[in-house]
Structure 1
Amino acid sequence: MFFDTVNPDVQDCFQTGYSPDKMASFMAHYGAINPWRAHFAHMEPLKAWSSEQLLPHRDLVKTEFHADWLRPQGDISAGAGMILQRDARRLLILGGHIRMKDQDRLEAPWMMLANMLGPALRHAVELNHILSGLRLENALLAQGLTPTGAAILVLSDDRRILFANAMGERDLARGEALGGDLWRRLHLRDALSDRAFEAGLRRCRPNAPPIALRVAEPGTGASRIAHLLRVGPEVLPFAGIDTLRRTAPDSVVVLVIPAASAAETLMRYLGLTLAESEVALALHSGQTPTEIAAARGVSVHTVRSQTKAVLGKCAVRRQSELVALIGRLVR
């Protein structure tokens, strides 16, 4: 069993050797009450742990999971598992159940095999993610979109996140504009943006031009113009986009959210107005107040007043401190 979970209640699973009915019940109910799960966070990655090491058998037999799922399958209470990958959004596990009557004969060899396979499997997953991202960026370039610095998410028709690049994962983790529910379905935090996104999903057709939509961040006033497009396997090979998916979808939806501009970044994190952000960036670039005033068509007095306001909002006293602060936010 090879499964991927984002939270304690949901998992995707690629398995062999289990009956379809039992796996359906695992996905629907028993996976969420698996008593071994509470110990996954403490397992050392890339090291096989036996079922007994995770939870003594005397405690396991007292659970609903054992009575209604393990025991009816020949008491598959023995076995071992391994954490392949663990981060804020993914817990990827390799595991195998063994009948109690076969524990002495099979458990130790299975743990040895898992310890041998684990590093290679994790490397394969990481490499697959990198290659999927490169294929995706090439597909977007062919559509006339510039993926550099953008958050990119590949979605199923029910909004389920099949793939996110590093910037997409970052935006999801921040939760300012994007969010996900228990089933990894994407939603936009701003209600109007989310309704426009839903309408775009319905209108999106393969090989059609990208649909532009506004993605706003509630509370900050910042927004970005994102693009939504539907692609088929002839544009983007689906193999590897979803690690555990056995069958490829007919098409997927790609959401591309461009990176925030430098001014938007200062507005978001420092609470500056657009004009103040532009003045701050000009100071960061080495321009003098006189040069900034001439370029903006305002008086030097106005620029100095805006600079004073920026220093106050940033809680710094010197222009050199402001320049250093901006340098840490805008690279």
Structure 2
Amino acid sequence: MPSPAPPEDPLIACLHRAALDPAGWQDFVLALEQGLGCAKASIHGVAERSGAPFLSVAGSFDAAFARSYLAHFHRINPFVPLSAAMSPGRARMSPMDLPDDALRRTEFYNDWLRPQEDLAIAVAVRSRPHADRSLVLSLNLRRRDGERAASRAQRLLDRLEPHLSHAFQVAEIISALSLGGGRAEAGGGGGLMMVDDGLSLIWADDGAAAQDGRVFRLDPFRKVIFQNGAMQDWARAACRSPGGAGRPPPVFRAADGWQIRLAQPGDGICLPSPFFGGHSFSRPRMLFLLSRAAGEPSRIPGLRSRFGLTPAEAEIARAIAQGLTTAEIAMARQTSLHTVRNQIRSVLGKMEARHRIDVARILAQDRS
């Protein structure tokens, strides 16, 4: 009979999927914890230039402790400089670099590690870099499990490192390609982005990609973090219930003029990537339109002259760009659904737009 599969085989399979699907990194971390049975795992992204890692995937750490880490404890974590200085390719145990008596005297140990089952021993491995970025995979083990468990974890991470490095490098290449093959000039009017239900970026066109660092930022695993906290809350709610009860309004408008809309299936958007027809993504996908809010009423003469719109059609175009539904436009204009539908068809035809999203993109580009 064939020998049973070594314990790392399922973990390697998770890493192969993580190379294509950002959600796979969390699945890998949880599978790693389950396989060891005595550790909590996390993955940090490390920028080679700054050398400062930060929390990206938190495994099964208690959510309150994870939030406290981001709010405070990452600044006093004695393992942070050790991770930044770690050579790639070989796992290390924390007692090799930080004696236990020194760790016990730290606030980080007493207030963060000790209350969590006394997670006193850390085992970590750093991936080989791609460009100027790499990963640090860390395991925190309970003190009572001792260095024997740490030695087992170290051997496992050594065997996983080539697969971890390969998965990270492939993910970085795909991420670069997924950003539309290039960036629009800074200050563009926005565009389309696709995320999974954890807000990890799958794809963005040039217009949306140009807003990286301005309207939103990305962590090493392409998780989208909007600069506007209320917009971030809206996006999370949209991902949690894209089509069900409790979903947020279809459009969020920020005070600075930016707005984000959850595109619906009926919007008929054509997505220019071979990935979208496949089955490599394990979690639901959402499509957001990021744009500048439609301009002031003084822009209506410009719309009319450029596209030959009537005054009513120019107003309809602005309402479409704001993300209003047909029913909402009819209510706002105190007219019938039939009239609004006819006006929308006329606007699409005159603006040579295939669907509503095109109207919003045209107006956003016109504003920028």
Q: Which structure has the bigger radius of gyration?
A: 1
For normalisation by structure 1, the TM-score amounts to 0.46
For normalisation by structure 2, the TM-score amounts to 0.43
The structure, 1 or 2, with the larger RCO (C-alpha pairs under 8 Å, 6+ apart) is 2
